[in-house]
Amino acid sequence: MTVQLTLPPELEERLKLEAARRGISADACAIQTLDQHLPRPLDERRAAAIAMLQRWAQDVENLSEREMAENAAVLRAIDEDRLSDRKLFTDILKDAPK
């Protein structure tokens, strides 16, 4: 694919300087920079996992007060039964109903 961009002079200069620093052409530097910073395509399993996590986050937002209190009680019990003094859910529980 061929893409033609008109870069602002300052950005063009930065690209040229970075390319020279790396010892490559400005085109190669631009391609490497885009490759490093653009998100990778999601494979089917990753996309499914992300969708599941997003559904869970939405479910949490729609919990009743009773359900939120029950969840908080479970998290408190987990924290209390830990062998470590380091609690896992302090951020979650600070505003949770009791």
Residue keyed to tokens 């937002």: 61
Residues 6+ apart with CB under 8 A from 93: 72, 75, 76, 79
Q: What is the pLDDT of residue 98?
A: 67
With respect to residue 76, please indicate whether it lies within any of the assigned structural domains. yes
Q: Indicate whether 58 and 26 sit together in one domain.
A: no
Q: What is the pLDDT of residues 17-33, one digit of tens each?
A: 999 999 999 999 999 99
Quick check: is 54 in a domain? Answer: yes
Same domain, 5 and 32: yes
Same-domain status, 51 and 86: yes
Q: What is the pTM of this model?
A: 0.46
30 in the same domain as 62: no
Would you tell me the crossing angle of helices 26-37 and 9-22 to the nearest 10 degrees?
Answer: 100
Does residue 70 sit within a domain? Answer: yes
Mean pLDDT of the chain: 90
In what helix (H) or strand (E) does residue 45 lie, and over which residues does it extend? helix 44-61
Claim to verify: residue 52 and residue 86 sit in the same structural domain = yes
61, part of any domain: yes
Q: What is the pLDDT of residue 84?
A: 83
Comparing CA positions, the residue from 6, 27, 8 lying closest to residue 16 is 27
Note down the domain range covering 54: 44-93
Total count of domains within the chain? 2
